[in-house]
Amino acid sequence: MPLLASAETRAVLDNVRWETFLELAEGRSGSVPRMTYDRGVLELMTPRRQHEQLGCLIGRMVETYSEVRGIEILSCASATFKRVDLDRAFEQDESYSIAHADEIRPKDEVDLVLDPPPDLVIEVEITSSSIAKLKLFAAMGVPEVWRHDGTRLTMLALIGGGYEPINSSVGLPGLTTAVIDAFVARRFDRGETALIKEFRAAIGG
């Protein structure tokens, strides 16, 4: 299996004002580097090909599963989610509104002071972030977080103000870490289209 050590690069800036973060985020071309902002600390993460491949493949499985099981979702991809009142913001690899898909669908912009956060956030984290991401996600009320470290997936649910590991998704009932890990582990041996076709068959599609 190819090494994933260079799957992403990170840089951290301290004492960054909220307004400066917004200027940087809005002044980019595209969504790279991805930014996480936590009360003056700004982390810039530049994903490389294997990082992006992991996130996209897991995202395709989420979308395939929701289609087969008839679960409405709204893809938010790596949109910037901000809480000015908390002085925090994040950009993830993939994200979805599920329980709140109908509520969020007609909105051009989401204001997390008023609107619910994404129901599912997916993060590939091969190298450690300098920001305590789970504390940030919990403060912003994200119900479910999936994290992939390049080897395995961990699903986490927000319970009592903190995250607890779970084996099966809350927002996508029946979808387990074991199923996703089994297909992700084969990504270097099979084409992505072939993997998704096999995944669809495995979940009854």
Residue range 89-145, pLDDT digits in tens: 999 999 999 999 999 999 888 889 999 999 999 999 998 899 999 999 999 999 999
Going by C-alpha positions, the residue among 100, 112, 93 that lies closest to residue 74 is 100
Convert the pLDDT of each residue in 76-99 to its tens digit.
988 899 999 999 999 999 999 999
Q: Which residues pair with 176 in a beta bridge?
A: 168
Rounded Cα distance between 177 and 143, Å, is 17
Q: Helices (DSSP H) in 28-173: which residue ranges?
A: 49-69, 101-104, 133-139
Q: What is the pTM of this model?
A: 0.93
Considering the segment(s) 48-202 as one domain, its CATH architecture is Alpha-Beta Complex (3.90)
